[in-house]
């Protein structure tokens, strides 16, 4: 292995060890909804389906790579908690959140949340071959497609109420911005992972459709940046640039193209992904880390550095290097790792800091919470190990 791969492998194991030690709640089942900077659980914290699904994906993928039984045990724990506490038996889909004791809390149907449940469950099936898990993933896909797919204008709507009725509060967006790149990015990520284990004809059509929506609607043909919000007819709403989502999309969309094996799309997607990665470079600071976002309307640049953005940029830039063989992308990936090691990895308490200020001060926030999870950083480590080992 190259040095970066060896270091990423070591860090991957550290991340897994942290979550194995501090995340499980052995009194009430599942995993703590929040663990503070000092690694102390906040016992009454609500639990999100996002966190649970990402834990499920993390330990399922770890088991597939390392074949260590303890990782499968933790994946089992996440799956059964998700199934028993987040699944809406009456209406279909999964809840947004439950209480610390596992009772339904926010029961709305956010497609972003459904996507992560599908992503985690499909990975769990790939690891465990537990047939009921695949059945559950199929069930979620079908209910999402039934209620969320826009037959008239394409793509998927953002959010629904408990019984899949229309709502005004979309959680991650607002009316009439009822379609977003964030939800579509994670839907295509989830559907692609499900297609790996269930090559269904309708699912394949939807994955291809989502890929086309990115090429035609979500990525600006002039700037090669993702537009963030839309109305039903795909009219863009707001011009904010999210550097992290751009670089994340640049490799996830290529992953989808590879899984589909569709020659008619492959070269087009490849060239578009390279352009998206190139456009993301404009958000890099001199230290090699992407800023968080830029709003052209106010000319405000948010220079905060986020753990998930740094994780995604390392993979995204290395993916661009693999597609182009241009060494400056490889150097950007390596510089990303250098920044991560210096500012994000907490060598004393474990895990990563969530954010770093523009003055390069690490923020001592929660190690685990509604959004802070092991998915971005563990996946980045895995991707670098895999890509550098296979080169």
pLDDT digits (tens, 9 = 90+) for 8-43: 999 999 999 999 999 999 999 999 999 999 999 999
Q: Are residues 30 and 175 in the same domain?
A: yes
Q: Are residues 148 and 291 in the same domain?
A: no
Q: Are residues 30 and 159 in the same domain?
A: yes
pLDDT at 391: 60
Q: Are residues 255 and 379 in the same domain?
A: yes
Q: Is 230 a domain residue? A: no
Contact 149, 156 (CB under 8 A): yes
Q: Are residues 162 and 258 in the same domain?
A: no
Q: Is 339 a domain residue? A: yes
Q: What stretches in the chain show pLDDT beneath 50?
A: none
Q: Is 314 a domain residue? A: yes
Per the structure, the count of domains in the chain is 2
Given 156, 191, 226, which residue is the final one in a domain? 191
Q: Is 318 a domain residue? A: yes
Q: Are residues 77 and 5 in the same domain?
A: no
pLDDT at 172: 82
Q: Are residues 353 and 325 in the same domain?
A: yes
Q: Is 198 a domain residue? A: no
pLDDT at 128: 98
Q: Is 316 a domain residue? A: yes
Q: Is 200 a domain residue? A: no
Q: Are residues 18 and 98 in the same domain?
A: no
Q: Are residues 171 and 267 in the same domain?
A: no
CATH code at position 93: 1.50.10.10
Q: Is 126 a domain residue? A: yes
Given 131, 159, 191, which residue is the final one in a domain? 191
Q: Are residues 167 and 58 in the same domain?
A: yes
Residue 336 domain boundaries:
1-23+239-391
Q: At what angle do helices 307-324 and 243-260 cross, to 10 degrees?
A: 50
Q: Are residues 279 and 375 in the same domain?
A: yes
Q: Express each pLDDT in 88-139 by its tens digit.
A: 999 999 999 999 999 999 999 999 999 999 999 999 999 999 999 999 999 9
Given 160, 191, 222, which residue is the final one in a domain? 191
Q: Are residues 81 and 150 in the same domain?
A: yes
């Amino acid at each position: 292995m190259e040095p970066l791969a060896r270091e990423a492998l070591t860090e991957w194991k550290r991340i897994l060890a942290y979550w194995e030690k501090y995340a499980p709640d052995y009194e009430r089942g599942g995993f703590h909804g929040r663990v503070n900077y000092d690694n102390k659980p906040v016992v009454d914290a609500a639990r999100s389906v996002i966190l649970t699904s990402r834990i499920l994906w993390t330990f399922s993928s770890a088991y597939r790579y390392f074949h260590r039984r303890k990782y499968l045990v933790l994946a089992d724990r996440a799956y059964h908690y998700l199934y028993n506490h987040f699944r809406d038996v009456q209406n279909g889909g999964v809840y947004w959140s439950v209480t610390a004791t596992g009772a339904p809390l926010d029961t709305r149907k956010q497609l972003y949340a459904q996507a992560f449940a599908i992503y985690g469950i499909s990975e769990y099936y790939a690891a465990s071959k537990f047939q009921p898990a695949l059945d559950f993933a199929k069930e979620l896909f079908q209910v999402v497609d039934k209620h969320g797919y826009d037959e008239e204008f394409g793509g998927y709507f953002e959010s629904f109420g408990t019984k899949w009725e229309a709502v005004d509060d979309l959680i991650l967006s607002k009316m009439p911005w009822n379609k977003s790149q964030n939800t579509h990015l994670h839907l295509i990520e989830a559907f692609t992972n499900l297609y790996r284990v269930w090559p269904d004809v309708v699912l394949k059509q939807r994955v291809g459709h989502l890929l086309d929506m990115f090429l035609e609607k979500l990525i600006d043909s002039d700037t090669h940046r993702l537009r963030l919000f839309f109305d039903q007819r795909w009219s863009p709403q707001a011009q904010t640039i999210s550097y992290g989502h751009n670089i994340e999309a640049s490799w996830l969309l290529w992953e989808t193209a590879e899984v589909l094996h569709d020659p008619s799309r492959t070269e087009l997607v490849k060239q578009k992904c390279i352009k998206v990665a190139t456009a993301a470079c404009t958000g890099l600071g001199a230290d090699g880390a992407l800023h968080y976002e830029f709003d052209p309307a106010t000319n405000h640049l948010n220079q905060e550095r986020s753990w998930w953005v740094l994780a995604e940029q390392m993979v995204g830039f290395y993916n661009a290097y693999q597609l182009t063989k241009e060494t400056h992308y490889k150097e950007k990936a390596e510089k990303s790792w250098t920044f991560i090691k210096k500012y994000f990895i907490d060598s004393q308490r474990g895990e990563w800091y969530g954010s770093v200020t523009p003055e390069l001060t690490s923020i001592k926030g929660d190690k685990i919470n509604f959004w802070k999870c092991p998915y971005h950083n563990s996946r980045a480590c895995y991707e670098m190990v895999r890509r550098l080992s296979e080169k």
